Structure 1
Amino acid sequence: MPKAGSIINPVSDVWKYDPDKHIPNLKDKVIVVTGGNSGTGKACVIELAKHTPKRIFLSARSKAKFEDAVKDVKAVAPDAVVEFLELDLASFASVKHAAEAIKASTESLDILVNNAGIMGLPPGLTKEGYELHFGTNHMGPALLTKLLLPLLLSTAQQPGADVRIVNLTSMGHTNTPKGGIDFETVKTELSDRHSFVRYGQSKLANILHARELAQRYPSITSVSVHPGRVATQLLDDMYGRRTVVGSLMQVYDKIASPLTPQQGAYTQLWAATWSKKEDVVNGAYFEPFGKLAQGTKDARDLELAKKLWIWQEGEFENHGF
């Protein structure tokens, strides 16, 4: 296994990685990308579409957002089969409907990119009563993954299969409550915590989820990736809220120059398609660009990953899943 902090892919830095050259032919691959209508999600779909996958499900909250995105996809890959997947990760009913739509229209699923997420929103709850960031960034994707696992596992049993799950996380996972995840308060608005802490807790959960998936389902390669600091709608929204932190971030980004969405998609594209499967270490956490990283102590805590899994499965069961 490569050492944490080493660049395990010799072509995976931002100046050398070229999706046109390094993404293999994706013939017969069925792919799901959540939040594929903007930012790194759309950039990811565009690059994947160039390599002739059998089908891409692009999730968005509305058909209008999908149609705007698919225009850009078709501009570079006019023959790509890209289908609308209506999905609101803050609603279990929407997640269930999306999973059923996928399973009804395909007998295989090769790549699931849990890309969609929110950041820095005011206190709130999802429809099922989870803190808004945790519910949207973790519980929704975790439920979608759970509902698609039978399809992913059956695909993994096919000859020559290479099934992967990629969770988008963030360096924000370093900002969490004591103990990493506060299970006692995660079903409250956590209004006494800064939005970065609420966000960080959800991003830690993304890392732990991938680690536990790898433990329980080794026939599937499950990893988490930090895309880097990317100039996307999430940052624009943060600036627009005109908070002190948002203003400071805007000044910082003018100096530091965040990555473009295209560059921000590189690590998830690498994790989803890199042909040397042994480089994409099952259960690992990666930072730009294809760098195996440790993350925080909580992010490496396999007992915490197991605890989160048991807790979320109990929650899903309580909601009929």
Structure 2
Amino acid sequence: MSYHYRNTGIGKETILQLCKHSPKKVFLATRNEAKAKDAIASINSQLPKPADVEFVSLNLSNLASVASAAETISRSTDRIDLLFLNAGIMNMPPGKTDDGFDLQLGTNHVGHFLFTKRLLPVLKETVAKYNTDVRVISTSSLGNAFAPSFDTMISSEKLSSQGHWTSYGASKAANILFAAELAKRHPELISVSLHPGMIQTDLYATTTSNSFLLRTLLRFFGPLVYHDVSYGALTQLWAATVDKSKLKQGGFYVPVGKLDSKNKFAVDDDMQKRLWEWTEGELEQRGY
């Protein structure tokens, strides 16, 4: 079995828990090699025998890096049982990716879209060759509620001008839309999205450093609001391991393992299709 994760917080906890069940191989695709290797050492220190966890360099805000990471993994294995798309950024100042997308939408959605697209041959081969179910699990957030109109979402200029939270919300709505459309276009794969809960991880570092008010509020009320990282990993661990008959294709889940059947992005077939086609078009314009 092969997996892909983020290297800190929920991703690291997910690796640790799954490695307790002796997977054959784990790919940890992330940007910071030093942090990744520290995470791998930390994980292995908590296991009875070391797991085979391999670092792969991946910068989601750079399409060439995304394509290279997918190629590295594809050359290394003919089997990927679980693909966790849970890397990302949150509440960052306005900016653009290296390829001209809004920074948060480009990193959290477009990067993951291309990564998954380039791994599709291996994902499909896994189903056919090993007769197993393959799952793509996209980490979204209740922050999807901050998403603007669809037309703003797909305009880098408009979106970047709307503020940190609107941009973040657009990227998290896109994660839900992507997961739902992936399930329809490639039904041989199981594709779901999820909100892991309010988890205290390093994703909040930018948010708290930029806001004295939020920093103060979290100091007093954080313990009442946030769960720890082990809780944050539960819904994606559930989605990765529960009997597939209990999963709704393209569904959006909240902790722990509860289907949110009323999320507007999870049920909007038209928007799902439009975002997919827009993303493919943008990638094609850039040679991907």
TM superposition score normalised by structure 1: 0.85
The equivalent of 2:276 in structure 1 is 309
2:88 aligned residue (107, 110, 117): 117
The alignment covers a number of residue pairs equal to 287
8 A contact 1:59–1:84 mirrored in 2 = yes
Amino acid at match of 1:315: E
Q: What secondary structure does 1:30 align onto?
A: coil
1:9-158 mapped onto 2 (5 Å cutoff): 29-33=1-5, 35=6, 37-77=7-47, 78-158=49-129
Amino acid at match of 2:57: E
The equivalent of 1:231 in structure 2 is 200
The equivalent of 2:254 in structure 1 is 287
8 A contact 1:46–1:72 mirrored in 2 = no
1:250 deviates by 4.6
2:237 aligned residue (269, 273, 277): 269
Distance 1:159 1:83, change over 3 A: closer
Amino acid at match of 1:65: K
* Fraction of identical pairs, as percent: 40
1:61 deviates by 1.1
8 A contact 1:166–1:223 mirrored in 2 = yes
Q: Aligned partners of 2:153, 2:206: CA distance in 1, in Å?
A: 28
Distance 1:294 1:150, change over 3 A: same
8 A contact 1:118–1:234 mirrored in 2 = yes
Distance 1:226 1:295, change over 3 A: farther
1:295 deviates by 4.8
Q: Aligned partners of 2:283, 2:176: CA distance in 1, in Å?
A: 19
8 A contact 2:102–2:160 mirrored in 1 = no
Q: Which has the higher contact order (CA 8 A, sep 6+)?
A: 1
Larger mean Cα displacement after TM superposition, 287-296 or 143-152: 287-296
Q: Aligned partners of 1:65, 1:166: CA distance in 2, in Å?
A: 23
Distance 1:191 1:62, change over 3 A: closer
1:252 aligned residue (221, 235, 238): 221
1:160 deviates by 3.2
Q: Aligned partners of 2:201, 2:84: CA distance in 1, in Å?
A: 17
Amino acid at match of 1:261: V
8 A contact 2:159–2:166 mirrored in 1 = no
The equivalent of 1:10 in structure 2 is none
The equivalent of 1:21 in structure 2 is none
8 A contact 1:239–1:250 mirrored in 2 = no
1:85 deviates by 0.9
Is it true that 1:170 corresponds to 2:141 in the alignment? yes
Q: Aligned partners of 1:74, 1:285: CA distance in 2, in Å?
A: 32
Q: Aligned partners of 1:204, 1:182: CA distance in 2, in Å?
A: 12
Larger mean Cα displacement after TM superposition, 74-83 or 163-172: 74-83
8 A contact 1:123–1:189 mirrored in 2 = no
Q: What secondary structure does 2:193 align onto?
A: strand
> Which one has the bigger helix percentage?
2
Q: What secondary structure does 2:129 align onto?
A: coil
Larger mean Cα displacement after TM superposition, 162-171 or 55-64: 55-64
8 A contact 1:125–1:188 mirrored in 2 = no
Amino acid at match of 1:76: Q
Distance 1:191 1:318, change over 3 A: closer
Which portions of structure 1, spanning 4 or more consecutive aligned residues, are displaced by more than 6 angstroms?
none
Larger mean Cα displacement after TM superposition, 76-85 or 43-52: 76-85
Q: Aligned partners of 1:164, 1:129: CA distance in 2, in Å?
A: 30
Q: Aligned partners of 2:134, 2:28: CA distance in 1, in Å?
A: 18
TM superposition score normalised by structure 2: 0.95
Q: What secondary structure does 1:228 align onto?
A: coil
CA RMSD, Structure 1 to Structure 2 (Å): 1.6
